[in-house]
Chain A
């Protein structure tokens, strides 16, 4: 069981949260090509290591926030608000 520090509520069990996938993806304009839209919708870095991702405290405050987590150890390096820029973390 992961313990995730919600930026609003503090440390809670994983079962209160929903993972919303990769953060900081920028939606392309409607005039962009099919290839650009395909990349945006489906293609992911899917890193083995540091991953910046969105989580929602579904069964708590209900709010979204960002988590910097390691996809092998599940260590959480940082949690930050949706509107914050990506933290300066060296890839482990």
Chain B
């Protein structure tokens, strides 16, 4: 197939791989710097921003009555998260339902249906941003900026706080104080970077305005009018990515030229969504004082990540055999893609957004080749190819615990991780968290939807692809990713929208709060254990060998749970395409 390509096409191919390679190099470069900074923040060491933010934080704690020095145990930490999230959810739901009477509503939008508002609330509070609506025609600026924009910060900061508490617990420290960790995640990490990022995006051409849509005559027919939606997009965009939120200001998300106008803005967005989860692994290394292990874990995920990018990119570059046979030449698959991003940046972005649980899209995931669909679904199933804001890092280290438990006995000692025994409660929590939550909230509702495809699912493409669409939707919800394979009638006023809104809401909640509580209890238990001294008889977890074993455990456990879906979804579709439809 490659033989048919011209020099020009080779140049494009090389350019594509170069774009990917450059981005990956930047990711590796950012990780230790940013990760070290996060560690400094949470170890209470001096940072540059202390002078600016310390007084503000102190004032906030005093006003809200938070005593920063009060330590929380696992349940207290979890309760603080649940209560604060509930309060914020009520606030957001109220804003959405009352947006018709609230200001900043230039297009005069009324309240969405109750189920859309509920799903949107849960979706944004859980850092998922699964959207069963079109932003520009459903939500007012007030709802977008103050409602969703607020959640962008708090839900992301909640994730960071969980990761920090988890790392503290694993390394035998008290978990900390949720309110302090949450505040600092915003003031020290999310807000400063967002300010810089907003300016960069504005420079790249992203609008930041409160004026309403511009109505212009169309080019084809000057008599026709077209409304061009605008809005305060730039600041929304950067925290959407940085906080791994992913909810687009516009319906088509980062494919929209006002959200993501060019290669530069695309690079910033890609780096923004991946930098916190990659850096958080390094943060672990600093706090645990084991940078070697951090780099090994980083390396493990990085290798899988790069492998996934290569598989996806090659699939897109080679294109659809059915289309190619019509065209008479091998062309990249550009269906559902923005030409300004092409196959390479679309593939990179798609793998990154599903891996990091951001869920922003700059191309249609539905239109990816089956290889891409396989990768994107696998990302959602595995949840640790960087993973969600903070939670992904915690999952990664939970997998290490699970790998220690399964294989650690083979060194002739009862399993221990970081000098702490892995006993029944750790096994219950990690295996439940890593192995059971996903099947519960993905497979069960997915199977119900597929059992009643017409009444419930409203699938646009029947067959293997439709199966992938449904499973993707639930996997995206449970993994708190938010991207959609799309193609489902999940938006009001479609008759199946109610089912989708309610069933995915359950997956969103289950996929978010059960793991968070489990992680905190796990960390709390670990922090209370008497550490066992390290000897040559102790299983070293910071070796290439053990990291490889962990990778094996992750892939096998992931494969065992989701192999049937992958087989009947993208794999079957791939064989079908290869056969010629």
Partners in one complex: no
Q: What is B's interface to A at a CB cutoff of 8 Å? A: none
Q: What is A's interface to B at a CB cutoff of 8 Å? A: none
